[in-house]
Amino acid sequence: MTEKKQHLEEAKELSMGYFLTGMVILLIATLLGFLKRLSQTGIIEFRATSWYTLMTLHGMAAFVGGGVFLCMGLTWYVLVNVLDKPLHSTKLVKLGYYIFMTGVALIVIATLFGNYAASWVFLHPLSFEAAGAWDNWAVIVWVLGVICAGVAILIVEFEVLLTIKSAGYSIINAVGVEALAPEPEGGYKTPVVLVPFAVNAVGMIIATIPFAGLLIAFLLQGFGLVSNIDALLAKNILWWFGHPVVYALLFPSAGFGYYMVERLTGGKIIGERLTKIAWFVAVAVQNIIGSHHVYQDLVNPLPVHVSQQILTYAITIPSLASLYVIIGTLYLRKFEWDISAKFLFLSILGWILAGLSGVVNATIFWNVYIHNTLWIVAHFHAMAILNIMMMLAAISYFLIRDYTGTELYNEKLARIGMWHIYIGVMGFVHMWFIQGIMGGIRRSMTSTPNLGLYTWLSIPFALAALIGFWLSVFVILKTIQNGKQNE
């Protein structure tokens, strides 16, 4: 086997481990989501403690266990392909996997066995005000689980940066700095695909440090060694991390978009300088906008509120630039509308919807109306599924052919799955948008009075989405199986 083949094979194996695990977690998490929504109609019933436990598990499992994990997995393969160099350390990649899985196990224990139900963002002091619903040990196990996930994220992000560095690229340039100067003859040195991965890695490493401090304070309170963590400070720190952790999904997903567009169209994306400068804006801004989640905690000082609104608008720049260059490149070049291109295109539409609804959240004047309503739930499911999961499906279908060297098991079935997901999620997300505008509250096991009709209407859509997920996973698994048989 040539050296090139060897490092690709190595990355393939590692990616596949992360990928399959993330997919299983995601399938379970989406099933929980469906059951929760169904129970809000009254067709099935959960005890209150179970509903909030499942909500907590669903959020953490879908977002972090499924989304972050899938993105990490796909990242290894894309990085090695773009760099044409081996990963910096396969040992670190494996270590990240095992620590993450330990975190998953602890979170499952804290929720399913300990009834921990303070939501995936466990805003302080909820954990310690359980009113008998869960014991202190469940808080400790939950926090230890989150610490494992945090350590795994740190390891993975360091590995991303070290891989870029050991392939001979400068990290400074990889976060967009080189584009501050006009493009030299022969083009910029750093491939543009690397930029979102590097920006995310830097962002997560910085954000994890204050978060680690908060988690340790939680542990100390859990053991009874500290009694009064300041709730406002705790919330601001939680969101310092909680905002950019979404970028552990969104930024790699943008990178996958660039990668696919370049390979689909056989050339570099247009607007490289613009794109890199846009990402450079995100390097710092991503880490200082978390307090837009606490606009309604009015005791935060006014300059914090005002700066949060302006800075949050600034973080739309990399998204706007990405939309522009991806749509522009696809418009200008010829390419085949295969299943990946279709998923990619739908993901772009989802990105616009999620982004626009996010601007509503970011604007204090509107936030007053939609804070803690189902509008927020609509916004982040639009982001998580209509944008990110669609992009992850696109890159999965794209890479699975590389992985296996075979064609898709059944392109028609893949297309049917795609439309089920898209129409299904569009449908149920819009029921949430409507309920949110009408004041339907989030994190409630029962529908807000008079808004139950929309909950009912969302069920067929949610079911369609679920069928779409399972179909897509079936096609991917079958393709992998066919690939193995052909080896």
Q: Which residue is nearest to Cu ion (CB)?
A: 243
The reply on whether position 67 binds ligand HEM by CB under 6 A is yes
Question: Which of ligand HEM, Cu ion, none lies near 339, with the C-beta cut-off 5 to 8 A by kind?
Answer: none
Select from ligand HEM, Cu ion, none the partner in contact with residue 276, using the beta carbon and a kind-dependent cut-off of 5 to 8 Å. Answer: none
Q: To which H or E segment does residue 150 belong?
A: helix 136-166
Q: Does 248 bind ligand HEM (CB under 6 A)?
A: no
Q: Does 342 bind ligand HEM (CB under 6 A)?
A: no
For 148, 307, 368, 390, the CA distances from 262, given in Å and listed in that order, are 36, 36, 42, 18
**Binding residue for ligand HEM, selected from 19, 34, 76, 247, defined by CB under 6 A:** 34
Select from 281, 285, 140, 318 the least CA-distant residue to 215. Answer: 140
| Smallest distance from ligand HEM to CB 3, Å | 37
| Shortest Å, Cβ 247 to ligand HEM | 13
d(CA 159, CA 172): 16
Closer residue to Cu ion in complex, CB, 235/243: 243
Q: Is 187 helix (H, G, I), strand (E, B) or coil?
A: coil
Distances (CA, A) of 253 to 88, 207, 289, 386: 22, 19, 20, 12
Q: Report, in Å, the least distance between residue 297 CB and ligand HEM.
A: 17
CB 209, min distance to Cu ion, A: 18
The reply on whether position 25 binds ligand HEM by CB under 6 A is: no
CA-atom Rg of the chain in angstroms:
22
- Of 465-484, which residues contact ligand HEM (CB under 6 A)? 465-466
39 interacts with, out of Cu ion, ligand HEM, none, CB within 5 to 8 A per kind: none
What is the distance between the alpha carbons of residues 438 and 444, in angstroms, rounded to a whole number? 15
Half-sphere exposure of 320 (CA within 13 A, CB side): 13
Q: In this structure, what token pair is assigned to residue 146? A: 């989150």
Q: Considering the complex, what minimum distance in angstroms separates the CB of residue 312 from Cu ion? A: 7
- Please report how close the Cβ of residue 443 comes to ligand HEM at its closest, in angstroms: 4
Which of Cu ion, ligand HEM, none lies near 243, with the C-beta cut-off 5 to 8 A by kind?
Cu ion
Q: How far apart (Å, rounded) are the C-alpha atoms in residues 386 and 468?
A: 13
DSSP string, 340-354: HHHHHHHHHHHHHHH
Q: Which residue has 């099935």 as its token pair?
A: 44
Report the interface residues with ligand HEM, using CB under 6 A: 30, 33-34, 36-37, 55-56, 58-59, 62-63, 66-67, 119-120, 377, 381, 384-385, 389, 442-444, 462, 465-466
